[in-house]
Amino acid sequence: MRDISTLPNLLAEIKTAEQLAALEIEYLGRNGHINALARTLQKLSPEERKEKGAQLNALKQDVLELFERKKDEIQNEQQSHLTDFDTSLPGIKQKSGHLHPTSLVVREIYEYFTYLGYSVYEGPEIETEEYNFAKLNLPPDHPARELQDTLYILEPEYLLRTHTSSVEIRCLTQEKLPVKIITPGKCYRNENTNASNNAIFYQLEGLFIDKGVHMGHLKATLDGFARFLYGENTITRFRCKYYPQVEPGMGMDIQCQLCQGVGCAVCKYRGWLEVVGAGMVHPNMLSACGIDGEEWSGFAFGFGLDRLVMMRYGITDIRSLYNGELVWK
């Protein structure tokens, strides 16, 4: 029988996992040294067996520990070889795609309004004059209906929607009140394109109809929105403004962040930038949708997305947003 005390020296000479496995069998295998010793115990008296048995167990633990230690040693050795190459080389790029900037801004705005319980509502782009104009308090001779502004498919009945207010009408005529929606989407106008005007543009409107909704709620909603979108320190201003779909009408400005309200070229020397048009939904619009304006009230608001997107991403020509020529770095 080999002397256990030589084991550390034997282990020291071992280089590979295979050699170690062989040695382990030699000691701890079924016919290994430890089991051989165990077999010798059977010949001893019970008292001796108890004493020697305990010694043997201790010995076995020591041996196991020696092997474990050596195993770790070999593994560490091997691991240090796993990085025997130039780790300073750049990582291999994993590609993923990018959203269109308009989608990114819609998602951002969506975040604010879904938090407040708004749904996203959609409607057709090819609209009828009834949904695009008549029900929106824009009677037949209203200037907003002019042929020069509207792209007609079949005048006067079928046209491309000029705003997403038509979607509000779709909602008010189809859904049960109360409703709380935002309506992002493409709109169209009959225009020769240039750097700041395009025949297609994106608009986002919002609508909240319930019992007891008033201008104070509108102010809180828009003020929170301005600070969400433009930063916590944004200063807002509310003023009277005319839109046919609302009465009273309201405009929200934010203080120009470039000149801090002093006046500069960007804010046309007003010190303020118009960001949202809004107001209390016009009683004519409610009744056109079969809603009792004495029982229900609500507000609507809206703004163009393109200018906001352009500001966010440093785009100077509106045409480049939708002509397929945007390329991510």
Partner 1 sequence: MKIPLHWLKEYVDIDVSVNELTDKLTSIGHMQDKKPEQVENDTVIDLEVRQNRPDCLSVLGVAREVAAVTGKLVTAPSAQYPSTALRTGAVQSTNGKDKLHIENAAPDLCRRFIAYRIKLPQRNSGLSTPQWMVDRLTAYGIKVISPLVDITNYVTIELGEPLHAFDMRFIEDGEVVFRRAHEGEKLTILGGRVLTLTNDDLVVASKSNALSLAGMIGGADSGVGPDTTEIVLEAATYNQASIRRSSIRHSVRTEASSRHEKFLHPQLAEVALGRAAQLVLDICNGKIVAEADSYPKPESTPKILLRISELARLGGVSISANDASGYLKSLGFSILNAELSALQVSIPYWRTDILCEADLVEEVVRMYGYERTPVVIPAFAPPKNITSYWFTLEEEIRDIMLAHSFDEHITEPLTKSDGDTRQVVLQNALNSQKDALRLTLQEGLRHALSHQKKFGREEVRLFELGKVYEKADHPKSPYTERRQLGFILHNAHAPTQEVYLRAKGVVDSLCTKLGYTLTDNLYQISVLDKNSVYVALEIERYWSPETPRVKADKRLYTSIPHLHTFDISLYLPKAHQPGVVIQTVKDGWKEVENIDYELFQPKDANMVGLLLKCTVSGATHKHVLIEAIAETLKKTYSAIIR
Residue from 54, 152, 197, 266 touching partner 1 (CB under 8 A): that is: 152
Nearer to partner 1, 41 or 104 (CB): 104
**Residue 154 C-beta: closest distance to partner 1, Å:** 7
- Please tell me whether residue 190 binds partner 1 under the rule CB under 8 A: yes
**Residue 211 C-beta: closest distance to partner 1, Å:** 8
DSSP type of residue 76: H
**Residue 8 C-beta: closest distance to partner 1, Å:** 42
Count of residues that interact with partner 1, criterion CB under 8 A = 90
3-class secondary structure per residue, 150-161: CCEEECCCEEEC
- Please tell me whether residue 225 binds partner 1 under the rule CB under 8 A: no
- Taking contact as CB under 8 A, which single stretch among the options 5-13, 45-53, 66-74, 239-247 is the one that binds partner 1? 239-247
Instruction: Mention every residue, 6+ apart, whose C-beta is less than 8 A from residue 55.
Output: none
**Token pair recorded at residue 52:** 């020697």
Enclosing H/E stretch for 14 = none
- Taking contact as CB under 8 A, which single stretch among the options 3-11, 14-22, 77-85, 184-192 is the one that binds partner 1? 184-192
**Residue 110 C-beta: closest distance to partner 1, Å:** 9
Beta strands in 50-157 (DSSP E): 119-120, 126-128, 152-154
**168, 169, 174, 176: CA torsion to nearest 10:** 60
- Please tell me whether residue 325 binds partner 1 under the rule CB under 8 A: yes
Residues 163-182 that bind partner 1 (CB under 8 A): 171, 175-181
Nearer to partner 1, 23 or 309 (CB): 309
Residues 194-213 that bind partner 1 (CB under 8 A): 199-200, 208, 210, 212-213
Verify cis geometry, omega within 30 degrees of 0, for the bond prior to 248.
yes
Between the alpha carbon of residue 275 and those of residues 71, 162, 222, 239, 320, the distances in Å are 69, 19, 10, 12, 22
Nearer to partner 1, 250 or 300 (CB): 250
**180, 219, 245, 201: CA torsion to nearest 10:** -80
Nearer to partner 1, 242 or 313 (CB): 242
Residue written as tokens 């934010």? 254
Residue from 36, 153, 258, 311 touching partner 1 (CB under 8 A): that is: 153
**One-character DSSP codes across 304-320:** ESHHHHHHHHT---GGG
- Closest by CA position to 306, among listed 323, 320, 318, 324: 318
- Please tell me whether residue 117 binds partner 1 under the rule CB under 8 A: yes
- Please tell me whether residue 122 binds partner 1 under the rule CB under 8 A: yes
Residue from 29, 53, 261, 283 touching partner 1 (CB under 8 A): that is: 283
Number of Cβ atoms within 10 Å of the Cβ of 51: 13
- Please tell me whether residue 146 binds partner 1 under the rule CB under 8 A: yes
Dist CA 249 CA 247 (whole Å): 5
Question: Which residues sit opposite 90 in a β-bridge?
Answer: none
Residues 87-116 that bind partner 1 (CB under 8 A): 95-100, 102-103, 107, 116
Collapsing DSSP states into helix, strand and coil, what is residue 168?
Answer: helix
- Please tell me whether residue 134 binds partner 1 under the rule CB under 8 A: no
Residue from 131, 133, 188, 303 touching partner 1 (CB under 8 A): that is: 188
Nearer to partner 1, 30 or 329 (CB): 329
Residues 250-269 that bind partner 1 (CB under 8 A): 250-251, 263, 268-269
- Closest by CA position to 230, among listed 107, 101, 99, 109: 109
- Please tell me whether residue 132 binds partner 1 under the rule CB under 8 A: no
